[in-house]
A = this chain, B = another copy of it.
Amino acid sequence: MCEGNEDKTPPEVFAIRENASPPNSAGWMLRVVPNKFPALSVEGHLNRQGEGLYDKMNGVGAHEVVIETPKHDETLSTLPVDKVAMVLRAYRERIVDLTRDERVRHILVFKNHGAAAGASLEHSHSQIIALPIVPKRVSEEIVGARAYYEYKERCVFCDIIHQEIEYGARVIRENNGAIALAPFASRFPFETWILPKEHSAHFSHTQSTLFQDVASLLSETLRGIDNTLPRAAYNFMLHTNNTDGKGEASYHWHIEIIPKLTKIAGFEWGTGFYINPTPPEDAAKYLREALPREDPGNRT
């Protein structure tokens, strides 16, 4: 994935380049390429069918890799905030493009950092998967948020942000546009959510100025995690609305970061519940103390 090795990846589908250098050559700051070993393939038909009482379909969709930096030894937590904002803008560009494929129902962006989090390559990268069905976990969250909206006529995430700012103990940091918090009854030690403070269902509708605020919190949180838990592996997942645009009023995009410190065992597999030895109030306190100094110009 390093600069100079452009011919060792599939041809890029998107790149940010400094000097209008030609595609698939050196001179880039960020590249997006199809995954060499895709979980879903772009060609083909879904071909939904039954097999007795089971259902099956082909794995049609897209699986792309966002190479976040040309340098092998940089990570999202060492990149300058501007470069992290660039990564978020690349996500948006790819989501907008992949949404044009009518077979695509949901687009998931995620990152595996460190071997314990499932990363098989060291070079800093994230992944984009465009899926022909709405995934189980996404559906649970979107349907749950809709049920809350039908009852209250308010977005549950907006309500969470309001309550957390008032309560304070689980807020890790906020700036003009975004907030980082340790969610109530978090599943994992140091689980962190980053949300835009203004209601917004689709990540792809987000303005670039907001990306700067989200990037700033993402960068600070990852540095805080690095400081508190040296060399911790983590995953993050971008939770955004489905491509169908329903749930505009009730859903609210956000990033969920989960450091990999505990093992998923029989209790978790059997219940879907998680035992978390570090309460979110403690995690938020540790992270607040471990965060890099705030840019005073960026404070609410």
Contacts and interface: CB of A to CB of B under 8 A. Distances in A.
Given A52-B167, A185-B54, A266 B138 contact: no
Interface stretch (A71-79, A202-210, A267-275): A267-275
Contacts of A137: 269-272
A194 B112 CA distance: 33
Interface string A129-140: 101000111101
Nearest to A54: B184
Given A117-B263, A185-B56, A235-B265, A270 B163 contact: no
Contacts of A117: 263, 265-266
A292 interface: no
A110 interface: yes
Contacts of A131: 271
Contacts of A265: 110, 112, 117-119, 235
Contact of A110 (B112, B184, B266): B266
A277 B233 CA distance: 23
A270 B185 contact: no
Interface residues of A, number: 47
Nearest to A159: B53
Interface string A173-198: 00000000000110000000000000
A219 B163 CA distance: 52
21 contacts: A39-B275, A52-B167, A53-B160, A53-B163, A54-B184, A110-B266, A110-B267, A110-B270, A111-B266, A112-B265, A118-B265, A119-B265, A127-B266, A131-B271, A135-B271, A135-B273, A136-B271, A137-B271, A137-B272, A236-B266, A237-B266
Interface of A: 39, 51-54, 56, 108, 110-112, 116-119, 127, 129, 131, 135-138, 140, 156, 159-160, 163, 167, 184-185, 235-239, 256, 258, 263-267, 269-273, 275
Given A52-B163, A138-B272, A238-B270, 7 more contacts: A39-B275, A54-B185, A108-B267, A112-B265, A118-B263, A137-B269, A237-B270
